[in-house]
Amino acid sequence: MDIFFQLALFGAVACGLGAAYMLWAGQNAAAMGRRARFDTERQMATVRQRRTTTTALGLGGLAIVLLLMNLIGGAAVKAIEPTPTPTRLIPPTSTLAPAARQTLVATLLPTPTATPPLPTAVVTGADDPGLRLRQSPNGEQIDYLKSGTIVDLLPDAQVTTADGITWQKIRDPQKREGWVAAAYLVNQ
């Protein structure tokens, strides 16, 4: 199933490149129409420009659909967990034994323990370039988080420093862990 989503990504890239080429060809047709001396040449250039623009829009739309298939479908396939299924074993038979009996043996697999999802919050009120993500409270800066970024709140990780700032340990969408000022977080 993974190969299907990889092919969808490849198709999205190919359609995107095709759309870019068709837009370029449409611009060339428009330029030819402006340089044309006769009405027939202008009409042909206009038709060529419309055709290439329409094709470019169609390829661009197909590229978006294929990219969404790759992103959404690939994530959905990864989220499906296999369930243990019984395996049917057939013992070897001999000519002296009566009819072979089939035995159903369950395959025992460790049951995955479900971890509850972490609570999330949204970064709000952070001016440009964003809220500082730090290695420790008042520590070295890792990166900036833009307003609207959804982060995971790590459990039992909130500290108030001597300067009165409450810090929250979080995990950002890139799975980096760090500390941010809790005043800029709104729980979801």
User: Which tens digit of pLDDT belongs to each residue from 61-75?
Assistant: 998 888 888 888 766
pLDDT at 141 over 80: yes
Identify the pLDDT of residue 1: 56
pLDDT at 106 over 60: no
Identify the pLDDT of residue 94: 56
Neighbours of 109 (CB within 10 A): 10
Place of tokens 């890792």: 142
Question: Which stretch of DSSP H or E encloses residue 105?
Answer: strand 103-106
pLDDT at 142 over 60: yes
The answer to whether the peptide bond before residue 129 is cis (omega within 30 degrees of 0) is yes
pLDDT at 30 over 80: yes
180 pLDDT band, cuts 50/70/90, is very high
Interatomic CA distance for residues 128 and 48, integer angstroms: 45
Identify the pLDDT of residue 102: 54
Instruction: Write down the mean pLDDT value for the chain.
Output: 81
pLDDT at 57 over 70: yes
pLDDT at 107 over 70: no
In terms of Cβ atoms closer than 10 Å to its own Cβ (0-12, 13-18, 19+), residue 38 is: exposed
- Higher-pLDDT residue of 36, 146: 146
78 pLDDT band, cuts 50/70/90, is low
**C-alpha 153: how far from its chain's center?**
21
Identify the pLDDT of residue 97: 52
Interatomic CA distance for residues 65 and 59, integer angstroms: 10
Identify the pLDDT of residue 157: 75
82 pLDDT band, cuts 50/70/90, is low
Interatomic CA distance for residues 77 and 155, integer angstroms: 29
3-state secondary structure of 82: coil
pLDDT in tens, 161-173: 888 889 999 999 9
Q: CB–CB of 186/147 below 8 Å?
A: no
pLDDT at 96 over 70: no
Interatomic CA distance for residues 123 and 171, integer angstroms: 12
